[in-house]
Structure 1
Amino acid sequence: MDSRITEKLKILADAAKYDVSCSSSGGKRKNENKGLGNAEGMGICHSYTEDGRCVSLLKILLTNHCIFDCAYCVTRKSNDIKRAAFTVQEVVDLTINFYRRNYIEGLFLSSGIFSNADYTMERLVRIAKKLRQEHKFNGYIHLKTIPGASEELIKEAGLYADRLSVNIELPSENSLKKLAPEKSYSEILLPMDNIKQQLMQAKEEKKLFKSAPTFAPAGQSTQLIVGASAENDQQILLLSDQLYKDYSLKRVYYSGYVPVSADNRLPIITEPPIIRENRIYQADWLMRFYGFDVKEILDDSNPHLDLDIDPKLSWALRNRHAFPVELNTADYEMILRVPGIGVKSAKKIVSARRFAALTFEHLRQMGVVLKRAKYFITCNHKSLQPYDFDSQRIRNKILFGDGAVRSPLLTQQLDLFRQVG
């Protein structure tokens, strides 16, 4: 590979690592006309960083030049970093060459903003169009949509990309004005709404004409930065809930704030709030897959997620009146609320109990985590654990085991994580 291209790749791949909103879930583009790649099934190939973040193998920025000066962003115009920019053809060639070497199965392409939104978006679209039309590339393509880009460019982007995303970045308009004064919520939400309308229109057209073109078949997503601003977990989850309902997002991604530049508007931290980020992801899953309303997870009197335990266990400990759940008769929705029982296990329970009364041994075989679940369930009205434990004792037993005592060092570490989060 040319040394100049290698240097660009090093700079622009490193700059792209802060955007976590990449996923191929939902993409089912088939290989047709003897083209390259196939996004069906798993879709894009992934690697995983040390902190557990999922990163695509070709995840790059078109450029790290940017006209904006967002306080939290490594590519902010006032940051003293090496700058680089790919040409349209260079990104196309990289994608094809990496695919042929079996390094990747798709492309995640974002960008700083060159001179204006349309100028940048037009180049992102040209890359996807060249890959699809000239190289018959059928692999997964995720394009970042630039706020402020024209409706025509967004529509064209959706014809060639599997997924589009518009990053909302911060959980409130006030924080956006403080940390990214050149941006506005209205400018970010407008393309989100446009993508939603295009998705609905494409779906209706498909009902009438099978040959109608698809539009971003893997939908749209966004990213929220956690910890760069003062919003609590309740505010973050309320915003996510609104985005899911109002804009039909496939996914909201959460990124623990990474201190990449000095700015007195930003909090002083030594490492990203990874535990807090993880708890928010768990709460997000409760809303999307477990039937929880956001107001059940957090409220005004309880605005922060517990860093020690997952949000489903936290809810169960606050709502002991709803338990124990008799697994041979309870409905599916209530079984999902039992700590230690996931979606797959809940479905197995509902299916299996039609043929025989379930025992605790059956539950073990189904993958139920009885270490947690035993405090909240019965089978044939029998329990593995006396139900007279109070919530604090159950919490301690799950966290530290029978008779275990929290060490001073662990207490100190958890207190530190709370300060960071």
Structure 2
Amino acid sequence: MDFNRIKEKLNILADAAKYDVSCSSSGSNRKNTNKGLGNASNGICHSYSEDGRCISLLKILLTNHCIYDCAYCVTRKSNDIKRAAFKIQEVVDLTVNFYRRNYIEGLFLSSGIFKDPDYTMERLIAVAKKLRLEENFNGYIHLKSIPGASDELMYEAGLYADRLSVNIEIPTVSGLKLLAPDKKHEDFAKPMLKVKNEIIRFKEERKILKSTPKYAPAGQSTQMIVGATGESDKDVMYSATHFYKNFHMKRVYYSGYVPVSNDSRLPSIGTQVPMLRENRLYQTDWLLRFYGFSVQELLNAEHPNLEMDVDPKLSWALRNLQHFPVDVNKADMSVLARIPGVGMTSVHKIMKARKFRKLDWDHLKKMGVALNRAKYFILCDSRHWERRDLDPQRIKGLILSTSYGKFRPQYSNQLSLFN
């Protein structure tokens, strides 16, 4: 083996893979049997880079050669970059050797498209198949499905991978046509639908026959590039909701556009999407999936984009003060979940604790409620904070002026805020 050449390939193809952020490994429960390698379980260990991207997996492309010329992609065929391609066995050997040295928890494998989607997908599957059957590897494997790959290959991929994903890339159909005219929206939807149907079928068959082979136990995910086509946050989140609802996605990932070319169809080279916008989209995603919000409530024609200075739940609350204050000793769980500064863990604690006594500010603080935000929207067992004559801008200013996350319970000073 030419180790220098392998190292060069690794540098090229690991660097090219950094733009894909959809590499979460939560949700798999593959067990180690027959003294094999690895054990992919719930809570698989992650580490994260400074900008929040997962680095716990060996994350590489099989190749950065590509037949497509997508304007937003660094591996597009017209881009003048150094090209490389791994052999199937090279990826297998790298994964096993890195795992033995405790460098990684598993493999995240994507690829540019060699000759056609099926040819490329076959090679990705071959890597996973060799790891499972020849190396007895039970660690986590995430395969990036190739848009346009056949149903037969998508089925086979799910037998060896813990998670599959097809990146939708651009949130809107019009944006995809503009920046990737060689691709069709249905090429992304078709493999997603196949994976969804196979997961449903596996669950039904599993009820009857426990020995039914696992199929993509960690489900499927997708990623959208944000900011390449000027779409609003409302457009992004409506697209995400569509994929959650119609394809049973485990996660939708949001990747801020990184300028990679001077193409006139793209934002200028100096215009990189701020990390804060990604963060706000993830917060919105969380509210939609776990807090009972709808897209229309958070983003609409009057408010098509998220505010950058406050989180989306606080932004909604400030626009809807008619729903507040909420009495934490009486409100339903669904209402408590909408209070800024109150997470679902605190909601459950409140529901349990108030069975035994009325809750006051000290109780709420000990439960983890972020009172610097929540105090403007709640009532509890306390004589303080009874005046509610602040307007949204005044509340917002007070919250932003108190370090946005720190609260000092000095009740005598609190009253002066309402004078």
Q: TM-score band, normalised by the shorter chain?
A: over 0.9
Instruction: Give the partner amino acid of 1:264.
Output: S
- Does 2:255 align with 1:251? no
Instruction: Report percent identity of matched pairs.
Output: 64
Task: Indicate conservation of the 8 Å contact 2:361/2:382, yes or no.
Answer: no
Q: Which residue of 1 aligns with 2:410?
A: none
CA gap 1:222/1:247 in 2 versus in 1, 3 angstroms? same
> What is the Cα deviation at residue 375 of structure 1?
0.2
> What is the Cα deviation at residue 383 of structure 1?
4.4
- Give SS of 1:337's match: coil
Task: Indicate conservation of the 8 Å contact 1:199/1:215, yes or no.
Answer: yes
CA gap 1:70/1:396 in 2 versus in 1, 3 angstroms? same
Task: Indicate conservation of the 8 Å contact 2:30/2:40, yes or no.
Answer: yes
CA distance in 2, matches of 1:51, 1:103: 20
Q: Which residue of 1 aligns with 2:293?
A: 292
Instruction: Give the partner amino acid of 1:239.
Output: S
CA distance in 2, matches of 1:327, 1:15: 50
Q: Which moved more, 1:25-34 or 1:268-277?
A: 268-277
Q: Which residue of 1 aligns with 2:119?
A: 119
- Give SS of 1:330's match: coil
> What is the Cα deviation at residue 272 of structure 1?
3.0
CA distance in 1, matches of 2:272, 2:177: 24
- Does 2:367 align with 1:361? no
Alignment of 1:22-41 (within 5 A): 22-41=23-42
Task: Indicate conservation of the 8 Å contact 1:106/1:139, yes or no.
Answer: yes
Q: Which residue of 1 aligns with 2:142?
A: 142
> What is the Cα deviation at residue 42 of structure 1?
2.0
Task: Indicate conservation of the 8 Å contact 1:374/1:383, yes or no.
Answer: no
- Give SS of 1:54's match: coil
> What is the Cα deviation at residue 308 of structure 1?
1.0
> What is the Cα deviation at residue 382 of structure 1?
4.2
Task: Indicate conservation of the 8 Å contact 2:72/2:179, yes or no.
Answer: yes
- Does 2:320 align with 1:337? no
> What is the Cα deviation at residue 381 of structure 1?
6.3
Instruction: Give the partner amino acid of 1:119.
Output: Y
Instruction: Give the partner amino acid of 2:351.
Output: V
Q: Which residue of 2 aligns with 1:237?
A: 237
Instruction: Give per-residue Cα distances to partners, 1:161-200, cap 9 Å, x unaligned.
Output: 0000000010111110110111111111111111110110
Instruction: Give per-residue Cα distances to partners, 1:282-318, cap 9 Å, x unaligned.
Output: 1111001111011111111211111111100000001
Instruction: Give the partner amino acid of 2:58.
Output: L
CA distance in 1, matches of 2:8, 2:307: 43
CA distance in 2, matches of 1:384, 1:342: 21
Instruction: Give the partner amino acid of 2:101.
Output: R
Instruction: Give the partner amino acid of 1:56.
Output: S
Instruction: Give the partner amino acid of 1:139.
Output: G
Q: Which moved more, 1:272-281 or 1:188-197?
A: 272-281
Task: Indicate conservation of the 8 Å contact 2:256/2:272, yes or no.
Answer: no
Q: Which residue of 2 aligns with 1:18?
A: 19
Q: Which residue of 1 aligns with 2:53?
A: 53
Q: Normalising to structure 2: TM-score of the pair?
A: 0.94
Q: Which residue of 1 aligns with 2:72?
A: 72
Q: Normalising to structure 1: TM-score of the pair?
A: 0.93
- Does 2:276 align with 1:275? yes
- Does 2:293 align with 1:265? no
CA distance in 2, matches of 1:266, 1:383: 53
CA distance in 2, matches of 1:94, 1:33: 22
> What is the Cα deviation at residue 39 of structure 1?
0.7
Alignment of 1:323-402 (within 5 A): 323-380=324-381, 382-384=383-385, 386-401=387-402
CA distance in 1, matches of 2:385, 2:158: 53
Task: Indicate conservation of the 8 Å contact 1:20/1:55, yes or no.
Answer: no
CA distance in 1, matches of 2:66, 2:166: 16
- Give SS of 2:70's match: coil
Q: Which residue of 1 aligns with 2:417?
A: none
Q: Which residue of 1 aligns with 2:172?
A: 172
Q: Which moved more, 1:58-67 or 1:376-385?
A: 376-385
> What is the Cα deviation at residue 25 of structure 1?
0.9
Instruction: Give the partner amino acid of 1:53.
Output: R
CA distance in 2, matches of 1:191, 1:52: 28
Instruction: Give per-residue Cα distances to partners, 1:120-148, cap 9 Å, x unaligned.
Output: 00010011011111111111100000011
Task: Indicate conservation of the 8 Å contact 1:65/1:85, yes or no.
Answer: yes
- Give SS of 2:147's match: coil
Instruction: Give the partner amino acid of 2:77.
Output: K
Task: Indicate conservation of the 8 Å contact 1:202/1:214, yes or no.
Answer: yes
Alpha-carbon RMSD across the aligned residues, in angstroms, is 1.3
Q: Which residue of 1 aligns with 2:129?
A: 129
Instruction: Give per-residue Cα distances to partners, 1:246-284, cap 9 Å, x unaligned.
Output: 110010000000011221110113433211111111111
CA gap 1:229/1:55 in 2 versus in 1, 3 angstroms? farther
- Does 2:7 align with 1:6? yes
Instruction: Give the partner amino acid of 1:379.
Output: C
> What is the Cα deviation at residue 385 of structure 1?
6.5
CA distance in 1, matches of 2:309, 2:191: 38
CA gap 1:62/1:383 in 2 versus in 1, 3 angstroms? farther
> What is the Cα deviation at residue 213 of structure 1?
0.9
Kindly report structure 1 stretches of 4+ aligned residues shifted beyond 6 Å: none
Q: Which residue of 2 aligns with 1:192?
A: 192
Instruction: Give per-residue Cα distances to partners, 1:40-89, cap 9 Å, x unaligned.
Output: 1322x433223222233410000000000000000000111110000000
CA distance in 2, matches of 1:108, 1:51: 19
Instruction: Give the partner amino acid of 2:366.
Output: Q
| Alignment coverage as a number of residue pairs | 401
Instruction: Give the partner amino acid of 1:63.
Output: T
Instruction: Give the partner amino acid of 1:372.
Output: R
- Give SS of 1:104's match: coil
Task: Indicate conservation of the 8 Å contact 2:298/2:312, yes or no.
Answer: yes
> What is the Cα deviation at residue 214 of structure 1?
1.2
